[in-house]
A and B are shown apart, each in its own frame.
Chain A
Amino acid sequence: MNFDLTNDQKMLQREVRSFAETELAPVAPQIDVSGEFPWDNIKKMAKLGLLGIIVPEKYGGSEFDFVSLAVAIEEISRICASTGVIVAVNNSLVSYPILQFGTEEQKEKYLPPLCSADKLGAMGITEPNAGSDVAAMESTAKLEANHYILNGTKRFITNGGEAGIFVVFAYTDKDLKYKGISAFIIERDTPGFTLGKHEELMGIRATANCELIFEDAKIPKENLLGKEGDGFKICMNTLDVSRIDIGAQAVGISQGALEEAIKYSKERKAFGQLISNFEMIQGMLAEMATQIHAARLLVYYAGYCKDKGIPPRFSKEAAMAKYFAANMAVDVTRKAVQIYGGYGYTKDYAVERLYRDAKILELYEGTSEIHKIVIARELLR
């Protein structure tokens, strides 16, 4: 048993931390207000290989494992949650399914631009009437000659407004229920594909969250990902993997909040002394640190299971990590605001942003409730 990061993971952590503290920190509060997509930093990160962390070198990636992905996402999210989400989506929601289920031609065509950020990735599952209930989706794709004709609307799509490559799910055969869902790789300039409403979010505000509208969109036949009917499997498999880095986002955001809270408690005085002298503050800090530590171990363990292929289905571990870490992050950032008192409720301090950023973690890529169902299903098999 070994809890140490490997040499390359330690170096990755050091470089990503240094990059985040230097390049991301100045922009993070600004893009939270403006919602501006951080293209400059995304391009810089692509040069370092952070957009294709888990992609093999032959497709332009960095060829690291999933624990490393978690370490990187954690370091990015510690400074800027929006950037953490953008990078995570490109890696695990888009590059991963193409890598796992794509043909050699698809990999060669789509992975290099995803790694270089020439084209950013986004994934379309959620619809206005289909969130956690994936099978309730209404989008359809009909094969006509050499094209699938896709109709439907995808909502709340991270990176949606800025992406160039989309992995989108739709029914090719509604009668087969979830077994009739298929996955497609769709390019931004596909005829019949337009962007809809840009969402104003509570947190992770610079993630170009946007609606995707398909009206008789013509998708070349060869852009089917996997086989017809593989969509649900691809979707679930991808979400399992992405739970590792949602967990990592939670750990990173919380770590950032804890560090802010510790610093503030050692500067702020009340009743004639530093608030860090008060046991209730100390108690909160101790709880926060312990919660973060527990979540980090769960996240790393889920990554480890994925890397080692043990156990064969790591769904439960990934779900546990995501569920625990998301709840943890909301609680830890809430405590951070609490330690700041009234000032924590103002835009002057980062904890206000971190609290808002954390809330999404309990909602997207499976709500906490869905995760409990996934975990329980594994327990009761």
Chain B
Amino acid sequence: MSEIFMLIEHRQDAIRDISYEMMTCGRALAEKLNTKLTAVFLGYDADKLVESIRDQAHRIMVVNNEVFKEFNAESYQIALAEIIKKENPLLTLIGHTAFGMDLCPALGTQLGIPFTTDCLDVEIIDGKLIATRQMYDGKLNAKIRFRKNPSYLVSLRTGCFPVRDSNIESEIVNIESPISAEPDYRKFVEYIEAAISDVDITKADVVVGVGRGIKKKENLALIEDFASTIGGVVACSRPIVDAEWLPKDRQVGSSGKTVKPKLYIALGISGAFQHVVGMKNSGTIIAINKDQNAPIFNEADYGIVDDLFRVLPTFKNSIIEMKSK
């Protein structure tokens, strides 16, 4: 049967947003193809989590075993491969997350089915699967077609499918786990939480985000000064953390934090997807960047194409003036 399957992603006893996004995508595809969506849940002590998604898919396949309590690509791969081989779905969706990046390519390879990663969209046109991906630092999109096969595997980018309500009565199917222990070649040990910080960028109303464009660490003083004038906190994109100019807890983006301030000011940030995903839901976004082609201008409400260090001093003065009125 040519069903749509998707893998539920959960962590630390919570279903992750990407799961709802994938189910939204999966339901739409299933509807178009007049077929059903099956959510595959691998986990432990599953009842509560399964309960929270039981209106989201036509069928929920539950493999309840302690081995799946935490994510381990190698054990998930063993179980999923078995399910897919048996059920032979037309399409299986996995999140393009730290979890899915570890799992999807190896699973597709093991099964010998065509797969691709990090898709913004998937469509089935005339029975052919077409995926949309982003390339070249987000500057181009690509339509991808697949080698013809009865079954496909695709990983989906987070934040691409606005979650829709659903009220399907899910059929719950319990399946015996094919394994009862993690393989001895890979074991989960523990989570390492980010260090607790003095500044919580997720709680601020105004966030001043800085990227590579600030050129050097010493310039942070200027940025801090500007941020305090405007009553905001300083956050940053990944390269700034890589260079150890700011601590990890200031990073906005897929591997950092998600912020939704009233005002986000992006200074010298090019707007790589990995950053944008963490700030695109901010109320108002102002971007200052020298490169007029920078993808950040696709996300911003207001843009200034200029050297940020030329604009910052006058911007600060204008804010002071505005506040004094």
The answer to whether A and B touch in the complex, with CB atoms under 8 Å apart, is yes
Closest to B219 in A: A26
- Chain B CB within 8 A of A280 CB: no
Contact flags A265-287 to B (C-beta < 8 A → 1, else 0): 00100000000000000000000
- Chain A CB within 8 A of B323 CB: no
- Chain A CB within 8 A of B229 CB: no
Let me know if B216 and A26 touch, CB within 8 A: yes
Q: How far is the CA of A25 from the CA of B213 in the complex (A)?
A: 12
Let me know if B290 and A267 touch, CB within 8 A: yes
- Chain A CB within 8 A of B292 CB: yes
Closest to B306 in A: A267
Q: How far is the CA of A133 from the CA of B261 in the complex (A)?
A: 68
Contact flags B234-265 to A (C-beta < 8 A → 1, else 0): 00000000000000000000000000000000
Q: How far is the CA of A26 from the CA of B212 in the complex (A)?
A: 11
Contact of A26 among B218, B290, B305, B310 (CB under 8 A): B218
- In the complex, chain B residues whose CB is within 8 Å of the CB of A25: 215
- In the complex, chain A residues whose CB is within 8 Å of the CB of B218: 26, 30
Contact flags B296-325 to A (C-beta < 8 A → 1, else 0): 000000000101001000000000000000
Let me know if B292 and A267 touch, CB within 8 A: yes
- In the complex, chain A residues whose CB is within 8 Å of the CB of B310: 348
Q: How far is the CA of A267 from the CA of B215 in the complex (A)?
A: 20
Q: How far is the CA of A45 from the CA of B178 in the complex (A)?
A: 58
- In the complex, chain B residues whose CB is within 8 Å of the CB of A26: 215-216, 218-219
- In the complex, chain A residues whose CB is within 8 Å of the CB of B290: 267
Closest to A30 in B: B218
**What is the distance, in angstroms, from A175's C-beta to the closest C-beta of chain B?**
57
- In the complex, chain A residues whose CB is within 8 Å of the CB of B216: 26-27
- In the complex, chain A residues whose CB is within 8 Å of the CB of B305: 267
Q: Among residues 274 to 309 in chain B, which have CB atoms less than 8 Å away from a CB atom of chain A? A: 290, 292, 305, 307
Contact flags A1-40 to B (C-beta < 8 A → 1, else 0): 0000000000000000000000001110010000000000
- In the complex, chain B residues whose CB is within 8 Å of the CB of A30: 218
Contact of A348 among B215, B219, B307 (CB under 8 A): B307
Max chain B Cβ within 10 angstroms of own Cβ: one of A25, A27, A30, A267: A267
Q: How far is the CA of A267 from the CA of B293 in the complex (A)?
A: 11
Q: Among residues 183 to 226 in chain B, which have CB atoms less than 8 Å away from a CB atom of chain A? A: 215-216, 218-219
Q: How far is the CA of A25 from the CA of B292 in the complex (A)?
A: 21
Q: How far is the CA of A30 from the CA of B290 in the complex (A)?
A: 20
Q: How far is the CA of A267 from the CA of B218 in the complex (A)?
A: 27
**What is the distance, in angstroms, from B315's C-beta to the closest C-beta of chain A?**
14
Q: How far is the CA of A30 from the CA of B216 in the complex (A)?
A: 11
- In the complex, chain B residues whose CB is within 8 Å of the CB of A27: 216
Q: How far is the CA of A30 from the CA of B218 in the complex (A)?
A: 11
Q: How far is the CA of A27 from the CA of B218 in the complex (A)?
A: 10
Contact flags A252-275 to B (C-beta < 8 A → 1, else 0): 000000000000000100000000
Q: How far is the CA of A267 from the CA of B305 in the complex (A)?
A: 8
Q: How far is the CA of A26 from the CA of B219 in the complex (A)?
A: 9
**What is the distance, in angstroms, from A277's C-beta to the closest C-beta of chain B?**
15
Q: How far is the CA of A105 from the CA of B310 in the complex (A)?
A: 54
Closest to B305 in A: A267
**What is the distance, in angstroms, from A324's C-beta to the closest C-beta of chain B?**
33
- In the complex, chain B residues whose CB is within 8 Å of the CB of A348: 307, 310
**What is the distance, in angstroms, from A153's C-beta to the closest C-beta of chain B?**
37
**What is the distance, in angstroms, from B169's C-beta to the closest C-beta of chain A?**
58
Closest to A343 in B: B310
Q: How far is the CA of A348 from the CA of B219 in the complex (A)?
A: 15
Q: Among residues 199 to 220 in chain A, which have CB atoms less than 8 Å away from a CB atom of chain B? A: none
Q: How far is the CA of A348 from the CA of B218 in the complex (A)?
A: 17
- In the complex, chain A residues whose CB is within 8 Å of the CB of B307: 348
- In the complex, chain A residues whose CB is within 8 Å of the CB of B292: 267
**What is the distance, in angstroms, from A364's C-beta to the closest C-beta of chain B?**
30
Closest to B243 in A: A22
**What is the distance, in angstroms, from B288's C-beta to the closest C-beta of chain A?**
13
Q: How far is the CA of A267 from the CA of B291 in the complex (A)?
A: 9
**What is the distance, in angstroms, from B242's C-beta to the closest C-beta of chain A?**
12
**What is the distance, in angstroms, from B83's C-beta to the closest C-beta of chain A?**
48
**What is the distance, in angstroms, from A80's C-beta to the closest C-beta of chain B?**
13
Q: How far is the CA of A27 from the CA of B219 in the complex (A)?
A: 11
Q: Among residues 118 to 166 in chain B, which have CB atoms less than 8 Å away from a CB atom of chain A? A: none
Q: How far is the CA of A267 from the CA of B292 in the complex (A)?
A: 8
Q: How far is the CA of A25 from the CA of B310 in the complex (A)?
A: 17
**What is the distance, in angstroms, from B187's C-beta to the closest C-beta of chain A?**
39
**What is the distance, in angstroms, from A26's C-beta to the closest C-beta of chain B?**
3
Closest to A263 in B: B290
**What is the distance, in angstroms, from B121's C-beta to the closest C-beta of chain A?**
33
**What is the distance, in angstroms, from B223's C-beta to the closest C-beta of chain A?**
14
Q: How far is the CA of A30 from the CA of B309 in the complex (A)?
A: 13
**What is the distance, in angstroms, from B291's C-beta to the closest C-beta of chain A?**
9
Q: How far is the CA of A27 from the CA of B215 in the complex (A)?
A: 10
Q: How far is the CA of A192 from the CA of B216 in the complex (A)?
A: 42
Q: How far is the CA of A267 from the CA of B216 in the complex (A)?
A: 23
**What is the distance, in angstroms, from A334's C-beta to the closest C-beta of chain B?**
22
Max chain A Cβ within 10 angstroms of own Cβ: one of B215, B219, B292: B215
Q: How far is the CA of A9 from the CA of B49 in the complex (A)?
A: 61
- In the complex, chain A residues whose CB is within 8 Å of the CB of B215: 25-26
**What is the distance, in angstroms, from A350's C-beta to the closest C-beta of chain B?**
10
Q: How far is the CA of A328 from the CA of B218 in the complex (A)?
A: 35
Q: Among residues 291 to 312 in chain A, which have CB atoms less than 8 Å away from a CB atom of chain B? A: none
**What is the distance, in angstroms, from A275's C-beta to the closest C-beta of chain B?**
14
Closest to B307 in A: A348
Q: How far is the CA of A348 from the CA of B308 in the complex (A)?
A: 11
Q: How far is the CA of A345 from the CA of B216 in the complex (A)?
A: 24
**What is the distance, in angstroms, from B246's C-beta to the closest C-beta of chain A?**
16
Q: How far is the CA of A26 from the CA of B307 in the complex (A)?
A: 14
- In the complex, chain A residues whose CB is within 8 Å of the CB of B219: 26
Q: How far is the CA of A220 from the CA of B215 in the complex (A)?
A: 48
Q: Given A267-B305, A348-B310, 10 other A-B contacts at CB below 8 A? A: A25-B215, A26-B215, A26-B216, A26-B218, A26-B219, A27-B216, A30-B218, A267-B290, A267-B292, A348-B307
Q: What 10 A-B pairs have minimum CB-CB distances, sorted nearest first?
A: A26-B216, A26-B215, A348-B310, A267-B305, A267-B292, A25-B215, A348-B307, A26-B218, A267-B290, A27-B216
7 contacts between A and B (CB under 8 A): A25-B215, A26-B218, A27-B216, A30-B218, A267-B290, A267-B305, A348-B307
